[in-house]
Amino acid sequence: MTVPTLNYVSCPDPRGSHRMAYWSWGASDAGHVVVCVHGLSRQGRDFDVLASALVERSTQPLRVVCPDVVGRGRSDWLADPMGYGIPTYASDMLQLVGQLQGDAPVRVLDWVGTSMGGLIGMALAGAPNLPLPAPVRRLVLNDVGPVIQWTALQRIGTYLGNTGRFETVQQAAEAMWQVSQGFGPHTSEQWLALSQAMVKPLPEGGVTLHYDPAIAVPFRTLDEGAAKAGQAALWGLYDAIRARTLLLRGAHSDLLSVATAQEMTQRGPRARLVTFDGVGHAPTLVTPAQVEAVASFLLDESHPDEKPRSGTG
C-alpha cells in the first residue's frame, strides 16, 4: 500500500480561522480528484484501503483526498463548539477544493461520503451556484440519506464525546469495537489498522480518542422534532443532485431505513442501491466487495464524456 501525504488548508470561521488537515493519495497534479469524507466521530485515514485501491486501479492519473473534518484527527478544534455542523463542514470543503484547484486544475470531481460525509456531499452536490471548480460528477453515499432514523441518533449519543483514556492502542481498539459492531465482521488486523489513527497520545501516557469531545455539544441539542424538521431540506438537496449516484447500505443499518433507501432510487438522481449483508451502520469500505463496489463505480470509463445527469423530481 502506498502512503499518503499530510496537508492543511486554512478555513475561515467566526473566531478567525482554523486549519483542516487532509491526506492526499496519488498524483498531486491529477485533474481527476476523488474526495472521501468520513463519519461523525471518525477521521480521514478510514479510507486508506479504498484510496490506495483507487489509485492503483485507475488507468489515468488520480488524486484521492481524505480530509479530517474540523475537530477530528490532525485538524484544529473549534473555539465555539456550536460551529460543529454541516454548514461549517461544507464551507471548509469548499476551501479545500479551492486549494486543490490552486494546486492543479480540477477537471473531474467525485465524492465519497460515509454517514456525515455523505450529508456534506449532498450539501455540495445539491446546492446551486457553489464555487466548485467542477460539478460533482459521481457521488457515493455510504449508508446515509435525507431521513436519519431517530433511534440511531440516540444510539450514537450514548458514546459520542466519551473519548476516554487507554493504556494502549489495542485497548482503545477493543473499546471502540464495543460501540462499532454495526460495521460488520472485520479481522483483528483490519480493525487494528482502522483504529491506529483513531487515537492520539496523552502527555501523561496512554492514548485517547482523536476528536474534540465538544463535537457532542450541538449533537445533544438535537431532538426528534428538529431531526424530522430537517428532512424536507435534505430531500430538497437530494432532489437537486445531478451527479450519478451510488447508495451503499448495510443490510442491518439502523440509520438508513429500507424505505428511505428505496425512495432514493426513485427520486432525485435515482441512486443505484448496493446492500451489504451482515453489516449495519456503516460499511467501512475495507472489505474486497465494498472496495469493488465503489471502485468500479468511480473508475468506470464507459462514459468518458459523462456530464452530471439531469435531475428528476
Residue 231 inside a domain? The answer is yes
The pLDDT assigned to 303 comes to 62
**CATH code assigned at 77:** 3.40.50.1820
Cβ(85)–Cβ(59) below 8 Å: no
Query: Rg of the chain over CA atoms, in angstroms?
Result: 18
pLDDT tens-place string over residues 118-136: 999 999 999 999 999 999 9
In a domain, 217, yes or no: no
Tell me whether residue 278 is in a domain: yes
Q: How far is residue 139's CA from residue 158's CA, in Å, rounded to a whole number?
A: 30
Work out the angle between the directed axes of helices 188-196 and 169-178 (0-180°, nearest 10): 110
Which residues fall within 8 angstroms of residue 57, CB to CB, at 6 or more apart? 295, 299
**pLDDT tens per residue across span 193-202:** 999 999 999 9
Query: In the chain, helix, strand, coil percent, each to 5?
Result: 40, 20, 40
Report the domain count for the chain: 1
Whether residue 69 lies inside any domain: the answer is: yes
pLDDT digits over 21-44, tens only? 999 999 999 999 999 999 999 999
Q: Single out the residue of 176, 298, 148, 138 nearest to residue 235, CA to CA.
A: 148
Segment 235-256 mean pLDDT: 98
| Per-residue pLDDT band at 310 (split at 50, 70, 90) | very low
Question: Is 50 inside any structural domain?
Answer: yes
Range of the domain at 96: 5-149+227-299
Whether residue 110 lies inside any domain: the answer is yes
CA distance 173 to 11: 31
Residue 164 within a domain: no
pLDDT tens per residue across span 248-279: 999 999 999 999 999 999 999 999 999 999 99
Joined together, the cell numbers standing for residue 179 give 460501540
* 76 found inside a domain: yes
